[in-house]
Amino acid sequence: MKVRTGLEVLVEDEASRIRGRRIGFVAHPASVDAELRSAVDLVTQAGAELVAIFGPEHGFAGDAQDMIAVSNEAGPSGLRVHSLYGTSEAELSPRREWLEDLDAIVVDLQDVGSRYYTFVWTTALVLRAAAAAGVETIVLDRPNPLGGVVVEGRPQRPGYRSFVGLYDVAVRHGMTIGEIATMVRKLEGLHEDALHVVRMQGWAREMFFDETGLPWVLPSPNMPTLDTAIVYPGGCLIEGTRMSEGRGTTRPFEIFGAPGLDGAAMAREVAIEGARLRPLHFRPTFQKHAGKLLGGVQVHVTDRATFRSYEAYLRMIAWAASRIAPEARWRTEKYEYVVDRPAIDLLTGGPEFRALVDAGESVEDFVADEQAGAAEFADRRREFLLY
């Protein structure tokens, strides 16, 4: 049975919820149905009066690279597209005046199941702002591409929330975007009427995306395939280093490396359950080390049921960092609007991993703490699960 997304359930079964109402729509290129028809067109055909469109990180058109501020775009049929990813944290939330003429704001974004992927936090900020303005938020639920069973990586420690983790959740949280919104509503004490989640039909928590029968559409420029999403809970950690995470190649996050890094030695010495490491050389066409020859590996997942991306990349980063000069290890530039804490600390949820690596100590106790924290979160999230 093909999964029916919240979009399809809304326009086919619950159109009365939007018919004749003035709607704002948060969308991006993956906001399509199983036949690849635009969600914007579908809600308009279902009788909604579409007033404005809102674009998350990468923009409504999905053409902006990571951490690139997006200005207001021209939308279909002359509609204005309000950017929810500007030059400051204040620009991550919709302005009050953008919401004043709306009866509801509809969110249809494809998440990839990792804490750092910002679409769930855009949804959270929209919900908070809309509730304050007395506007209903309607979230059209979509599958978590990694399923909803496995949880990896503990929540952040105090002081390490950011736009790559606005609420304390596991790294691979195993929740849908509708479940995250449900969690936010309850944690914020918002009235039940502030949020309506249009649930999927036919989705089971053990499903990977390719078992849903739905087409994969890039939700962001460097998320080209399900393979990318599978490694992303760990692969994104490379952003917190000075190594290339493979942006500027055709296999971002699966490929990573640095000048002079010995990928063959890494492949020999780092054992990864459920994956094989293939040494390679590559030249990124943009971002870190653009145009330079880098050594590194490609992570080939052989058994996604046993592969634990977050733990795998922690071990690979620790191995690589021990062979890189301290000043060449960690990203120090501003990261997702934060300047006072290193990016790797925001991504791992605290300073412990970086401190262990810099001290040349084993990260295995840290990995065990991450496993224990993930198990605790898996229990705590139960009250928010919809499936």
Q: What is the DSSP letter of 328?
A: G
CB 314 within 8 A of CB 322: no
Q: Cα separation of 174 and 199, whole Å?
A: 16
* 362, pLDDT greater than 90: yes
- C-alpha to C-alpha distances, 286 to 11, 218, 247, 267, nearest whole angstrom: 40, 19, 7, 25
Per-residue confidence (pLDDT) for residue 79, from 0 to 100: 85
Runs of H (alpha helix) within the chain? 6-13, 39-45, 96-99, 119-132, 177-188, 226-235, 263-269, 309-321, 343-348, 352-358, 364-380
Per-residue confidence (pLDDT) for residue 80, from 0 to 100: 83
Domains of the chain: 6-221 (3.40.50.12170), 226-350 (3.90.1150.140)
Q: What is the mean pLDDT of residues 77-82?
A: 83
Q: What is the DSSP letter of 288?
A: T
Per-residue confidence (pLDDT) for residue 382, from 0 to 100: 98
Q: What is the mean pLDDT of residues 30-34?
A: 98
Q: What is the mean pLDDT of residues 262-268?
A: 98
Per-residue confidence (pLDDT) for residue 330, from 0 to 100: 98
Q: List, for residues 68-79, the tens digit of each pLDDT value.
A: 989 876 677 778
* 226, pLDDT greater than 90: yes
The strand pair at 195-198 and 104-107 is best described as: unpaired
Q: List, for residues 9-28, the tens digit of each pLDDT value.
A: 999 999 999 999 999 999 99
Q: What is the mean pLDDT of residues 71-89?
A: 84
Q: List, for residues 151-187, the tens digit of each pLDDT value.
A: 999 999 999 999 999 999 999 999 999 999 999 999 9
Give the residues across from 335 on adjacent strands: 338
Q: List, for residues 302-354, the tens digit of each pLDDT value.
A: 999 999 999 999 999 999 999 999 999 999 999 999 999 999 999 999 999 99
Sign of the CA dihedral 65, 69, 71, 72? positive
Q: pTM for the full model?
A: 0.97
| Residues above pLDDT 70, as percent of the chain | 99
Region of 263 (left: φ > 0; alpha: ψ -120 to 50; beta: rest) is alpha
Per-residue confidence (pLDDT) for residue 8, from 0 to 100: 98
Per-residue confidence (pLDDT) for residue 175, from 0 to 100: 98
Enumerate residues 6+ apart whose C-beta is below 8 A from 144.
Answer: 111, 112, 113, 174, 175, 176
Residue type for position 22 = R
Q: What is the mean pLDDT of residues 223-234?
A: 98
Per-residue confidence (pLDDT) for residue 78, from 0 to 100: 75
